[in-house]
Structure 1
Amino acid sequence: MKKLFLIRHAKSSWDSHAQSDIERPLNNRGEQNALMMSKILMKENILPELLLSSPALRALSTAKIFAGQFGIDQETIVIEKSIYEAGIRELSIIVDGIDDRYDSVFLFGHNPGLSAFTNLIGDKFIPEMPTCAIAGLEFNINRWSKVARGAGRLFLFDYPKKHSK
């Protein structure tokens, strides 16, 4: 059994137009949302064995907040350059290459790729993933290379606005 959690980066700052897209940091709300969503997973005893992240600052910062909540050394986050601007094909290649010893993987990335990939490999349609959304998919497989169209059971789709007061 393999579980893949596709996590869109938290809300980022647009304060400085001088920054390139890859250098945009999280804003305060993004930091708070990432902490809240990581706590929700922790409460549900959903723990990662591997964290993969886009090199974009907003995605990597989101991954670091999650790692901190789970007591995972931030240095163990695997930065995968191809997640940045990845579409379905690139995400399929990344997942196919995950070491089979890992059964629970968190992948931090971007739209529109994450939403499209979730809808490709999942058994239910989700709308476009808002910032800091988490799509949890479960696969009845023992090798990541067996992830295929519609093979995953979408058992979790959560995002910060579901928890706003």
Structure 2
Amino acid sequence: MKTVFFARHAKSSWDHAELSDFQRPLNNRGLRDAPFMGKLLHAKGAQPDLIISSPAVRALTTAEYFAKALGIAPSEIRQEKSVYEAFPEDIMELIQALPDTLSTIFLFGHNPSMTALANQFSPGFIANIPTCGVFQVDAEVAEWGAFTSETGLLTAYHYPKQYFS
């Protein structure tokens, strides 16, 4: 079986107009949500063989908080520039090219791609993956090349507002 935990970055700050979109940091809510969600998934038994992240500051910082909660060194995060501003098919190509020795990955990216991907795997409609939302997709396949919207199914979906008011 192959499993991908797709994560949208935590809430970012718009307080620094001089920063580019790529450089935007997390805001206070994002700094609360990212460690919480990482610990939540760790408590649910999630353990990735690989963490892949967009190198944008908000996505990479989110990935680093998750890595820490999962007992993985931040230096082990694989930064993929192609995830920033990616189309869903770009992300699927990246996943399908992974080594088959890996079973579980976490992938940190951005909307609208995360919501579009969720809807490729979901039996229902998801209007929006909120910031720091994470959805799990499982596929009963032996090779990443066979990981598609036909073989994968969204099996879990978590986001901070389920746990905070």
2:2·2:147 contact (CA, 8 Å) conserved in 1?
A: no
Per the alignment, in what secondary structure is the counterpart of residue 59 of structure 1? Answer: helix
1:87·1:117 contact (CA, 8 Å) conserved in 2?
A: no
1:31-90, Cα deviation, whole Å (9 max, x unpaired): 110111111111111111100000100000000001111111111100000000011221
1:38·1:66 contact (CA, 8 Å) conserved in 2?
A: yes
> Equivalents in 2 of 1:157, 1:127: separation in Å?
13
Structure 2 counterpart of 1:21, one-letter code: D
Query: How many residues align structurally?
Result: 165
> Equivalents in 2 of 1:48, 1:149: separation in Å?
21
Counterpart residue number, 1:68: 68
Counterpart residue number, 2:23: 23
Counterpart residue number, 2:51: 51
Q: Which runs of 4+ in 1 moved over 4 A?
A: none
How high is the TM-score relative to the length of structure 1? 0.96
Per the alignment, in what secondary structure is the counterpart of residue 157 of structure 2? Answer: strand
Structure 1 counterpart of 2:112, one-letter code: P
1:13-40, Cα deviation, whole Å (9 max, x unpaired): 1001110000000112101101111111
Q: Work out the percentage of aligned pairs sharing the same amino acid.
A: 41
1:115-141, Cα deviation, whole Å (9 max, x unpaired): 112212344432210000001011000
Counterpart residue number, 1:79: 79
Matches within 5 A, 1:111-150: 111-150=111-150
CA RMSD of aligned residues (A): 1.1
Displacement after TM superposition at 1:104 (Å): 0.7
> Equivalents in 2 of 1:116, 1:93: separation in Å?
15
Stretches of structure 2 lacking an aligned partner (at least 5 in a row): none
Aligned in 2, Cα 1:76/1:47: closer, same or farther, shift over 3 Å? same
Structure 2 counterpart of 1:48, one-letter code: P
Per the alignment, in what secondary structure is the counterpart of residue 106 of structure 1? Answer: strand
Stretches of structure 1 lacking an aligned partner (at least 5 in a row): none
